[in-house]
Amino acid sequence: RKEVEQDPGPFNVPEGATVAFNCTYSNSASQSFFWYRQDCRKEPKLLMSVYSSGNEDGRFTAQLNRASQYISLLIRDSKLSDSATYLCVVSPLSGGYNKLIFGAGTRLAVHP
Amino acid sequence: DTGVSQDPRHKITKRGQNVTFRCDPISEHNRLYWYRQTLGQGPEFLTYFQNEAQLEKSRLLSDRFSAERPKGSFSTLEIQRTEQGDSAMYLCASSLTFSELFFGEGSRLTVL
């Protein structure tokens, strides 16, 4: 079983739609959680950290459920520029920026 | 450009040849990481340096792979006796202690 599992998609949505991605992780000792974004043939870039209380950054909302070992990302009012692969990432360390374990990613395609 | 730089960006080699990749991290970053990414997968952790010390190596890093960071600045990743299964994107990232990882654009290896 992979340490971080994601639905690979693709999710094809029209502009303005709301889309949600889910992710599960197997290591209950994981301490830090993130969503990264990766554009086609580009490097991954940090989108946002995920906190137990949930957090929001503009149109993006991330949630963490430690009991279920489940992480989510909600994108509201999708833009064409949101088209990318979204990588769910966990780390065993608090403060987290050490050994990052990536999921395989979920592809999002936003169309006009 | 003051980001993480990697060289070469693309390398095509024949099976059995040795290849070396170089990574120049962001100048003040003390931590340097190597990841490998294959098509449709997320990046997989290979190894990590704090300054010049190699602190962790993945089981993915067979004895044909060696990484160095001799003066705590740039790093090299060498693959000896390449195999077709080594074909991948090799990503380097750097960070300060407990801060965000910044990835380079990667070195794409194709083994014929």
pLDDT tens digits along A93-112: 765 556 889 999 999 999 99
Do residue A46 and residue B101 have CB atoms under 8 angstroms apart?
A: yes
Count A/B contacts: CB-CB distance under 8 Å: 43
Q: Is B17 helix (H, G, I), strand (E, B) or coil?
A: coil
pLDDT digits (tens, 9 = 90+) for A55-88: 999 999 999 999 999 999 999 999 999 999 999 9
Do residue B56 and residue A45 have CB atoms under 8 angstroms apart?
A: no
| B26 interface with A at CB cutoff 8 Å | no
Report the first-to-last Cα separation within chain B, whole angstroms.
33
- Rounded Cα gap, residues A77 and B90, in angstroms: 34
Amino acid at A105: G
CB B25 within 8 A of CB B33: no
Tracing tokens 């990667």 back to the chain, one arrives at: B106
The confidence score (pLDDT) of residue A96 equals: 54
The confidence score (pLDDT) of residue A94 equals: 62
CB B90 within 8 A of CB B47: no
The confidence score (pLDDT) of residue B59 equals: 86
Residue A1 confidence (pLDDT) above 80:
no
Nearest to A18 by CA among A98, A55, A73, A92: A73
Shortest distance, CA A12 to any CA of chain B (angstroms)? 17
Per-residue pLDDT of chain B (112 residues; tens, 9 = 90+): 579 999 999 999 999 999 999 999 999 899 999 999 999 999 999 999 999 999 888 888 889 999 999 988 999 999 999 999 999 999 999 998 777 889 999 999 999 9
Q: Residues A59, A60, A65, CA angle at the centre, nearest 5°?
A: 145
Question: In chain A, whose CA is at the least distance from the CA of B57?
Answer: A99
What is the maximum alpha-carbon separation in chain A? 42
- Rounded Cα gap, residues B48 and B95, in angstroms: 11
Range 9-68 of A in CB contact (< 8 A) with B: 42-46
Residue A14 confidence (pLDDT) above 90:
yes
Shortest distance, CA B36 to any CA of chain A (angstroms)? 11
CB A32 within 8 A of CB A102: no
The confidence score (pLDDT) of residue A30 equals: 87
What are the chain A neighbours of B101 within 8 Å (beta carbons)? 46, 97, 100
Out of B31, B98, B103, the one facing A95 most closely (by C-beta) is B98
pLDDT digits (tens, 9 = 90+) for A21-54: 999 999 888 888 999 999 998 999 999 999 888 8
- Rounded Cα gap, residues A22 and A1, in angstroms: 17
Do residue A103 and residue B105 have CB atoms under 8 angstroms apart?
A: no
Question: In chain B, whose CA is at the least distance from the CA of A44?
Answer: B103
Shortest distance, CA A6 to any CA of chain B (angstroms)? 10
Q: Is A81 helix (H, G, I), strand (E, B) or coil?
A: helix
Question: In chain A, whose CA is at the least distance from the CA of B32?
Answer: A98
Model confidence at A5, in pLDDT bands (50, 70, 90)?
very high
Shortest distance, CA B14 to any CA of chain A (angstroms)? 23
Q: Is B84 helix (H, G, I), strand (E, B) or coil?
A: helix
CB atoms within 10 A of CB B8: 13
- Rounded Cα gap, residues A12 and A4, in angstroms: 23
